[in-house]
Structure 1
């Protein structure tokens, strides 16, 4: 009898572990009696390729990952993985996650279907996704009486789901390149387990040292909507990345949603930089476990700092009102007998002000979604991916040293005022021009430096008045400029201020 195998991780809340399931021809499953609400497939070395994949194979350099098959040294244009069906606690909502590398010309698409009392729904897609091309969630979902998807969440229309199945498509338009699939996961919000209840089984008094960024002081056209990429950038920069929130944002736009807050896209962005990441429904103890392990957690919240608001959960010491926001939980502590959650909340006026303590009981009500970004350790062997994609550029000054032409390898880069100022909708030409000065400050990450944002003139030149900058910063020797582009390498150029005439 043929023995088919599929190795995956299983999570109850956030207690992650590995479990091998053996599927025989009678489809008997030897699984834990207690159903996990999050299933993680993250080691494909045990996959029966003939049964669960089509035109995929194990990566030569990483046998835990999947890539497209090759024919005569060229990758096939498309392949797929279909996971075994897996049981779940009864649910109404499901969120999928994936970690994949998508070189130029490649993309992945994740789909799920749910089972309700023996009936399977249609397959529903999270959209075709790539870090090297504009990506969007589905614009028109499939007609289906059982379930439907809205941006990042699959919802059971009537009744409840009790099983699910995942399918991943890998694509390439370049026969010399293939996507690399590292992880695919699904998490559901259990109907009969109240994630709002804090059983306090895990005790932790710890705050994980993590850089804090305010989204409010970033590029003005992006600032109102980049809480999710700012949260992810803080989480990965705590380890060994060094990315600007704007860089993560412009590689994380959901063109259908027209925003940067797609939960699945956000953890996929972290995964594309080499971090094991997924979105999960969990509880306070799940956050405590992650903090105890040394990893801060992104969470989706609603709150007000006005006790008389009456509509939003009240959080003392919050900075305002929000009906939907991502922040980073960095720890738990107790002060004067009261339990607090330490957070980096980007809805703040400065980086320093983003570090806050919220009362645990109030935070718990604000975190009503129970959605979390679980961003863990680096994948071994993927260290080269942990930095943003940047290229060196040159700046040529005008005679007055107030405008600079941007060039890469001698070729002028086209810039327009519209690219700098566009806000709605943000499109493929959106560009951020940020610059910083080495005026003596010491920072752990680049994003913690003080940034200003430059404009361009009608000739496409970057407007920088060096005389005024030098007068305002007499101790600065170097100005570094970052031209952050949508799904394209960031261009980095420097100007030695000591070489310029005052």
Structure 2
């Protein structure tokens, strides 16, 4: 349940919970549909865009994979180049902290070249897209150099598998060096006021498989988003520039209340996987009947239960791990998933104009978002379009029914609750905002227009 009491910083970073409310709306649809085009899409950019405080770098091409330092891995060419195990570098024993089971695993590694951030960062979040057949899994780590020239340790940003039989996918708590820490999925400078920043980083990917087999994970995308978003209670208003609505399926998290409480207490906390499921189905991807055989047949929309189970972070004990949601989306054929930050509703208009919906993270008091009917320390919504007046059309999973998911929220209110980094809670205490966090799911081979829109918002 969403609480108006002060959450932990991670509760805001993850944006994993929401409360009951009602909304208005309708039915599922397909990827390129829109209902109106009242303004010229060319006018979706203002005369002067705000300074971008986000740096995205991803390794995706055959050339990228060959540029790194490999120990037992090799680059695999093709329409979707990737990284696979070639000859294992060794074998280790891994004790799963969530099952207590110890098992041997062959492993191989790939370490990226050093990436120097165009925007020295106070935070960094990794994203990866991969296939992990049964008997395989992967680990993503980051090692950075601070702006004073000293180094961070290697930080684990995720131990991940698409399934949950071999290992329990997990974040790793307790990682810090007195200057930076990892909060579930987010590297963060402990005290940005000192001026210390993350100046550069390398990512290390470790691929694991059952010993003696020829199995391998295949990783198609690995990257990170670094950001230095200034502290702010309000943000400048953007000028409306687009009227369009994408036909995105509508799913309520609340209809799953009480179902599978082992996954973050059931549907009432499933805003993130519910949004992830809406967008994967927008792109025409969904789990098969075989995939859903484990779900109680009496439950409606079993694919939402499936998304919750396979985004669940066993350490965080929630479904709101940002990279785990992006990785879940990318388990579907020819989809990519990325975690980033956007700078304004103009950025969202650019994406919607190209037919790309977005999942956004926000926190607010009930009186700060007209028509919501609830307040939240962190909640995910799916932005599907804009009205002729520039207001935000969102599929808000915090609704009593699927039909009630579609909402229209006032542009100025919505933009501020999404982009601010500071806010006051119900007790009047200053707490964190999410600063424009966004999940983007899009085709592995975007159209030229989609590729241009993604590049405009800083995603390659």
**TM-score (norm: length of structure 2):** 0.67
Shift in alpha-carbon separation, 1:300–1:331, aligned structure 2, 3 A: same
Q: Shift in Å at residue 113 of structure 1? A: 2.5
> Given the alignment, which residue of 184, 206, 209 partners 1:172?
209
Task: Give the aligned partner of residue 457 of structure 2.
Answer: none
| Structure 1 residue ranges without an equivalent (≥5) | 1-33, 308-313, 381-502
Task: Tell me which residue corresponds to 2:450.
Answer: none
**Correspondence 1:322 to 2:376:** yes
Instruction: Find the structure with the greater CA-based Rg.
Output: 1
> Structure 2: how far apart are the matches of 1:196 and 1:54?
48
CA–CA distance in structure 2, aligned partners of residues 190 and 216 of structure 1: 35
Q: Distance in 1 between matches of 2:135 and 2:172?
A: 20
Give 3-state SS (helix, strand or coil) of 2:330's partner: helix
Q: Does 1:185 align with 2:223?
A: yes
* Larger strand percent: 1
TM-superposition CA deviations, 1:186-240 (whole Å, max 9, x none): 1123245979645747822111110111110125231111100000000110111
1:79 shift after superposition: 2.3
Residue 346 (str. 1) matches residue 368 (str. 2): no
Change (3 A) 1:265 1:90: same
Are positions 1:280 and 2:358 aligned together?
Answer: no
Give the alignment of 1:84-233 within 5 angstroms. 84-116=114-146, 117-133=148-164, 134-141=168-175, 143-158=176-191, 159-173=196-210, 175-191=213-229, 197-198=235-236, 200=238, 203-218=241-256, 220-221=258-259, 222-233=266-277
**Corresponding residue for 1:473?**
none
Displacement after TM superposition at 1:145 (Å) = 2.8
For 1:294, the equivalent position in structure 2 comes to: 355
Paired residue for 1:373? 439
Residues 331 and 342 in structure 1, CA contact (< 8 A), matched pair in contact too: yes
Q: 1:287 to 1:193 in 2, by over 3 A?
A: farther
Q: Distance in 2 between matches of 1:36 and 1:82?
A: 23
**Residues 117, 226 of structure 2: 8 Å contact kept:** no
Q: For residue 112 of structure 2, what is the aligned residue in structure 1?
A: 82
CA contact (8 A) 2:256 2:268 kept: no
> Does residue 246 of the first structure (1) align with residue 246 of the second (2)?
no
**8 Å Cα contact 2:53-2:229 kept in structure 1:** no
Change (3 A) 1:289 1:198: farther
| Counterpart residue number, 2:297 | none
Does 2:87 correspond to 1:65?
Answer: no
Equivalent-residue separation in structure 2 for 1:139 and 1:154 (angstroms): 12
TM superposition shift of 1:70: 4.0
Q: Give the whole-Å Cα distance in 1 for the aligned partners of 2:343 and 2:374.
A: 24
Structure 2 counterpart of 1:356 = 407
Tell me how far apart the structure 2 counterparts of residues 58 and 164 of structure 1 sit (CA, whole Å).
21
Structure 2 CA distance, aligned partners of 1:193 and 1:56? 41
CA distance in 2, matches of 1:39, 1:343: 25
User: What SS does the corresponding residue of 2:382 show, helix, strand or coil?
Assistant: strand
Shift of 1:325: 0.8
Equivalent-residue separation in structure 2 for 1:125 and 1:248 (angstroms): 24
Query: 1:93·1:189 contact (CA, 8 Å) conserved in 2?
Result: yes
**Cα separation, 1, equivalents of 2:255 and 2:65:** 50
Q: Compared with structure 1, are the counterparts of its residues 92 and 51 closer, same or farther at alpha carbon in structure 2 (3 Å cutoff)?
A: closer
Q: Distance in 2 between matches of 1:297 and 1:97?
A: 16
- Change beyond 3 A, Cα 1:256–1:144: same
Q: Residues 189 and 68 of structure 1: is their aligned pair in 2 closer, same or farther, counting only changes over 3 Å? A: same
Q: Does 1:269 align with 2:328?
A: yes
Higher relative contact order (CA 8 A, sep 6+): 2
Describe the shift of the 1:35–1:362 C-alpha distance in structure 2 as closer, same or farther (beyond 3 A).
closer
Instruction: Check 1:51–1:185 CA distance in 2 against 1; reply closer, same or farther (3 A cut).
Output: closer
Cα displacement string for residues 338-383 of structure 1 (whole angstroms, at most 9, x for unaligned residues): x310000000111111100000111122213110001111459xxx
Deviations 1:281-311 (A, max 9, x none): 1122222221111111001111233x3xxxx
Deviation at 1:109, TM superposition (A): 1.1
Rate the CA distance shift 1:374–1:139 in 2: closer, same or farther, 3 A: same
Select between 284-293 and 324-333 the one with higher mean Cα deviation.
284-293
Distance change in 2, residues 1:219/1:59 (3 Å): farther
**Retained in 2: the 8 A contact 1:44–1:64?**
yes
Report 1:419-430 matches (<5 A).
Answer: none
SS at match of 2:370: coil
- Contact kept, 8 Å, 1:78 with 1:172, in 2: the verdict is no
Say if 2:87 and 2:108, in contact at 8 Å, map to a contact too.
no
